[in-house]
């Protein structure tokens, strides 16, 4: 009998499969399709202090082996998330959930995290300093070790729950950013967010996305994500949540061998809403195929296997 359980910053998950923020809403939409309690947990939609409409349309573009998005953190704001979304979520999901937080200033990150930290069902805070689709915030905090550390310290000062800093791949040295977050008190690292990309409309002869650029996700980014998880595992001593192009049980195992304790599934949810359930169901067979009895034992195994 294989063991799918992992511990993420002190909280046990039944399995390491986590739908990524922005692709799973607040859970209850997917709960109409299947029992989402089969998941390890999930990261709900990115939350900011104030409500955001997001970027103008078009803000989605297809491309080979993936997609571009420039949604722009559309959400109802933290107070409505707490008063309206979390009560509905609690009706369909009985496990601790991951709260994804974005901001446009250090103070905003701290304020939003301080409110969500008080919510009983929130198990972890995933602090997104890597969104490439908003101006004057998001990724600008995640491309500088100093700025990443500043946000980390501010959030840790107002929270008691584990804090995972979600990092951008659009940097020269991902390990340097991760080390800065760890030194500032982060409990874990989430990576990678999307790669910055663009498509051009041949008929209109201008960028297809109204925002100009967008975040590339999907299978095309998987090798980049594995490489960055591998590098960060060697640079820090805190747990890693790996993501980027994951769509199968084998991808989960590969991410864990690179150093991930748990694995998020993003764009694949938009292609197949049942993909996370399928991955959970297929994990035992994939483990047996590769002679794995306990998932905890393979974390980082690719570094000395």
pLDDT tens digits, residue range 216-259? 999 999 999 999 999 999 999 999 999 999 999 999 999 999 99
The predicted pLDDT at position 134 comes to 45
What pairs with residue 98 in β-bridges?
43, 124
Q: Is residue 153 part of a domain?
A: yes
Q: Is residue 1 part of a domain?
A: no
pLDDT tens digits, residue range 184-222? 999 999 999 999 999 999 999 999 999 999 999 999 999
What pairs with residue 166 in β-bridges?
128, 190
Based on the structure, what is the number of domains in the chain? Answer: 1
Q: Is residue 15 part of a domain?
A: yes
The predicted pLDDT at position 85 comes to 96
pLDDT tens digits, residue range 106-137? 999 999 999 999 999 999 999 999 754 444 55
Enclosing domain of residue 190: 6-303
The predicted pLDDT at position 95 comes to 98
- 7 pLDDT higher than 50: yes
Q: Whole-number mean pLDDT of the chain?
A: 94
Catalytic positions are 131
The predicted pLDDT at position 133 comes to 45
DSSP letters, 21-36, are TTSSTTSHHHHTTS-G
Model confidence at 141, in pLDDT bands (50, 70, 90)? Answer: confident
DSSP letters, 208-273, are SSTTS-EEEESGGGHHHHHHHHHHHHHH-SS-EEE-SS--SHHHHHHHHHHT-SEEEE-THHHH-T
Task: Please give the model's pTM, rounded to 2 decimal places.
Answer: 0.95
For residue 146, give the CATH number of its domain: 3.20.20.70
Q: Is residue 30 part of a domain?
A: yes
The candidate with the shortest Cα–Cα distance to 115, out of 90, 86, 136, is: 86
């Amino acid at each position: 009998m294989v063991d799918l359980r992992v511990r993420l910053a002190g909280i046990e998950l039944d399995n390491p499969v986590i739908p990524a923020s922005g692709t799973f809403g607040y859970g209850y939409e997917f709960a109409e399709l299947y029992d989402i309690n089969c998941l390890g947990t999930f990261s709900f939609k990115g939350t900011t202090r104030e409500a955001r409409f997001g970027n103008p349309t078009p803000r989605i573009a297809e491309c080979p082996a993936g997609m571009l998005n420039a949604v722009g953190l559309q959400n109802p704001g933290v107070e409505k998330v707490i008063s309206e979304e979390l009560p509905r979520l609690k009706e369909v999901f009985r496990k601790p959930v991951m709260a994804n937080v974005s901001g446009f200033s250090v103070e905003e990150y701290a304020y939003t995290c301080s409110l969500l930290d008080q919510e009983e069902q929130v198990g972890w805070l995933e602090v997104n300093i890597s969104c490439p689709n908003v101006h004057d915030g998001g990724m600008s905090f995640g491309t500088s070790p100093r700025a990443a550390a500043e946000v980390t310290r501010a959030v840790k000062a107002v929270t008691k729950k584990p804090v995972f800093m979600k990092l951008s791949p659009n940097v020269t040295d991902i390990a340097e950013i991760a080390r800065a977050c760890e030194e500032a008190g982060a409990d874990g690292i989430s990576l990678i967010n999307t790669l910055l990309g663009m498509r051009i409309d041949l008929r209109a002869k201008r960028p297809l996305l109204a925002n100009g650029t967008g975040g590339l996700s999907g299978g095309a980014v998987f090798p980049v994500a594995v490489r960055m998880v591998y590098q960060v595992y060697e640079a820090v001593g805190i747990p890693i949540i790996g993501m980027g192009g994951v769509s199968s049980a084998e991808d989960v195992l590969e991410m864990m061998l690179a150093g991930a304790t748990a694995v998020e599934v993003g764009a694949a949810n938009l292609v197949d809403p049942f993909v996370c359930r399928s991955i959970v169901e297929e994990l035992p067979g994939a483990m047996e195929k590769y002679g794995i009895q306990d998932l905890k034992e393979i974390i980082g195994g690719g570094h000395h296997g």
